[in-house]
Amino acid sequence: MENYHMLFPDGSSASPSSSSSLAMANHQSYLQGGDLIGTRKVGDEKEVSESSEVIRVGKKGTRKHKYAFQTRSQVDILDDGYRWRKYGQKTVKNSKFPRSYYRCTHKECNVKKQVQRSSKDDEIVVTTYEGIHTHPVEKFTENFEHILRQMQSYNPLCSQNN
Partner DNA sequence: CGAATTTGACCAGCGC
Partner DNA sequence: GCGCTGGTCAAATTCG
**Which residues in the 9-28 window bind DNA by CB under 7 A?**
19-20
Applying CB under 7 A, among 33, 43, 94, 156 the residue interacting with DNA is 94
| Among the residue ranges 23-31, 39-47, 78-86, 152-160, the one whose residues contact DNA (CB under 7 A) | 78-86
The CA angle 154-144-24, to the nearest 5 degrees, is 155
CA 137 – CA 127 distance, rounded (Å)? 18
Query: Which neighbouring-strand residues pair with 113?
Result: 102, 129
Shortest Cβ 105–DNA spacing (Å)? 4
Shortest Cβ 36–DNA spacing (Å)? 23
Closer CB to DNA, 41 or 56, in the complex: 56
Q: How far apart are the first and last CA of the chain?
A: 8
C-alpha distances out from residue 106 to 110, 113, 115, 122, 159, Å? 7, 13, 19, 30, 22
Shortest Cβ 119–DNA spacing (Å)? 11
Q: For the chain, what is the radius of gyration of the CA atoms?
A: 15
135 binding DNA? (CB under 7 A): no
Applying CB under 7 A, among 40, 46, 65, 99 the residue interacting with DNA is 99
107 binding DNA? (CB under 7 A): no
